[in-house]
């Protein structure tokens, strides 16, 4: 295969490609990247075949800090990385050649740090490892088949099932009337209750929710009691392949009401006829990961591909690792 690579400075080709290929993973879609990387530098590497058809893409966010060029994962994007068009028609050798061509393009960017999370179906890591990249596995938790809701519910732990029944008995109900702005305010306040900060700007979070809903690929669920108090809210997004547990928020005052479990179940029911599976998007926090497991999920590994070419960044990463280790010991 004679590969033709093109470093896209004009992203219109990718925009048209994504419009013709809704199966491109949601976080890699043009519209998703364009919102999350607004006022930031993002672009895409495109690989074409002899007929000039696009056969692979790599969208990326480029960050410039103190004279260094860095590719990092955009916020609110669990995975990104290389996507193969018509992957079933490509041999292992074809995919390795494509990855090698993309690596050549990355080399021309003269990066000090590259770090992207790839879709769990991506297995062509050998060219990266041969080029000195490190491949580490992260974990997500997925309900793989939503077609039989009775079966899905039966795989929940007895604790999760009790929470849902308790929430129903207490008169909690789900509605779909929350605006994106109201959701952002509730999300931010719920984090402040726990001494945390919302790292999403209002513009980005609201724009993402509104655009996803306008496209028929997003929804905001809200759980309220009979007095109108909001216990929990959740932003979900989906395409034909998967639904994503994007942004959950729970009022700390109602953490024991069962609302945070009820809202997951209602989201799953809502998504049953819209997509194939439900992805909790994983967590490196053991407590959160354990909660996801209680929904009868399958633990799935996905690769983090990384390369550091800067001593400063290496030192910074080591310092962060030490600080993280000290926190765990405390």
Domains and CATH numbers, the chain: 4-139+302-329 (3.40.630.30), 145-275 (3.40.630.30)
pLDDT at 4: 44
Residue among 34, 104, 107 nearest 69 (CA): 107
- The torsion of the CA quartet 128, 129, 132, 133, rounded to 10 degrees, works out to 60
Strand partners, 47: 5, 56
Asked if 109 and 69 touch (Cβ cutoff 8 Å), the reply is yes
Q: Report how far apart, in Å, the C-alpha atoms of 215 and of each of 22, 128, 189, 210, 218 are.
A: 12, 35, 27, 9, 7
pLDDT at 83: 96
The C-alpha atoms of residue 328 and residue 197 are separated, in whole angstroms, by: 20
Asked if 59 and 94 touch (Cβ cutoff 8 Å), the reply is no
pLDDT at 12: 84
Burial 234-265 (b: 16+ CB within 10 A, else e): bbbbbbebbbbbbbbbbbeebeebbbbbbbbb
pLDDT at 11: 87
User: How is residue 39 written in tokens?
Assistant: 């006022």
The C-alpha atoms of residue 247 and residue 134 are separated, in whole angstroms, by: 29
pLDDT at 286: 87
pLDDT at 318: 79
The C-alpha atoms of residue 89 and residue 97 are separated, in whole angstroms, by: 14
Sequential pLDDT tens for the chain (330 residues): 444 444 445 588 999 999 999 999 999 999 999 999 988 899 999 999 998 899 999 999 999 988 899 999 999 999 999 999 989 999 999 999 999 999 999 999 999 999 999 999 999 999 999 999 999 999 999 999 999 999 999 999 999 999 999 999 999 999 999 999 999 999 999 999 999 999 999 999 999 999 999 999 999 999 999 999 999 999 999 999 999 999 999 999 999 999 999 999 999 999 999 999 999 987 778 888 999 999 999 999 999 999 999 888 888 777 776 765 444 434
pTM reported for the whole predicted model: 0.90
The C-alpha atoms of residue 290 and residue 278 are separated, in whole angstroms, by: 16
- Report how far Cα 118 is from the mean position of its chain's Cα atoms: 10
Asked if 187 and 198 touch (Cβ cutoff 8 Å), the reply is yes
Q: Give the 3-state secondary structure of residue 202.
A: helix
pLDDT at 330: 40
Asked if 300 and 120 touch (Cβ cutoff 8 Å), the reply is yes
The C-alpha atoms of residue 15 and residue 310 are separated, in whole angstroms, by: 33
3-class SS shares of the chain: helix, strand, coil, % to 5: 40, 30, 30
pLDDT at 5: 42
Task: For the chain, state the CA radius of gyration.
Answer: 21
Residue among 205, 199, 198, 200 nearest 182 (CA): 205
Q: Give the 3-state secondary structure of residue 156.
A: coil
Asked if 78 and 140 touch (Cβ cutoff 8 Å), the reply is yes
């Amino acid at each position: 295969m004679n590969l033709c690579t093109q470093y896209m400075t004009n992203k219109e080709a990718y925009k048209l490609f994504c419009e013709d290929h809704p199966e491109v993973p949601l976080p890699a879609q043009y519209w998703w990247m364009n919102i999350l990387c607004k006022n930031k530098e993002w672009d895409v590497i495109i690989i074409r075949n002899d007929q000039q058809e696009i056969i692979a893409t790599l969208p990326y966010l480029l960050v410039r800090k103190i004279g260094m060029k860095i590719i990092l994962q955009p916020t609110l994007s669990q995975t990104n990385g290389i996507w193969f068009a018509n992957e079933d028609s490509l041999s292992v050798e074809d995919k390795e050649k494509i990855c090698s061509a993309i690596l050549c393009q990355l080399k021309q960017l003269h990066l000090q740090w590259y770090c992207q999370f790839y879709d769990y179906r991506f297995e062509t890591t050998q060219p990266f490892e041969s080029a000195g990249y490190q491949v580490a596995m992260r974990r997500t938790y997925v309900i793989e088949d939503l077609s039989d809701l009775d079966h899905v519910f039966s795989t929940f732990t007895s604790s999760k099932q009790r929470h849902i029944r308790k929430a129903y008995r207490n008169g909690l109900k789900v509605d779909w009337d929350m605006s994106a702005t109201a959701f952002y305010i509730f999300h931010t306040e719920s984090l402040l209750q726990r001494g945390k900060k919302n790292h999403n700007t209002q513009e980005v979070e609201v724009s993402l929710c509104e655009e996803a809903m306008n496209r028929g690929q997003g929804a905001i669920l809200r759980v309220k009691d009979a007095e109108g108090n909001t216990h929990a809210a959740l932003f979900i997004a989906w395409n034909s392949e998967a639904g994503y547990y994007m942004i959950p928020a729970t009022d700390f005052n109602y953490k024991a009401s069962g609302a945070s479990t009820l809202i997951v179940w209602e989201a799953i029911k809502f998504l049953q006829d819209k997509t194939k599976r439900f992805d909790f998007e994983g967590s490196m926090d053991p407590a959160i990961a354990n909660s996801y497991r209680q929904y009868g999920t399958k633990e799935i590994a996905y690769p983090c591909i990384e390369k550091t070419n800067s001593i400063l960044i290496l030192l910074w990463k080591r310092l962060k690792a030490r600080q993280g280790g000290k926190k765990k010991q405390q």
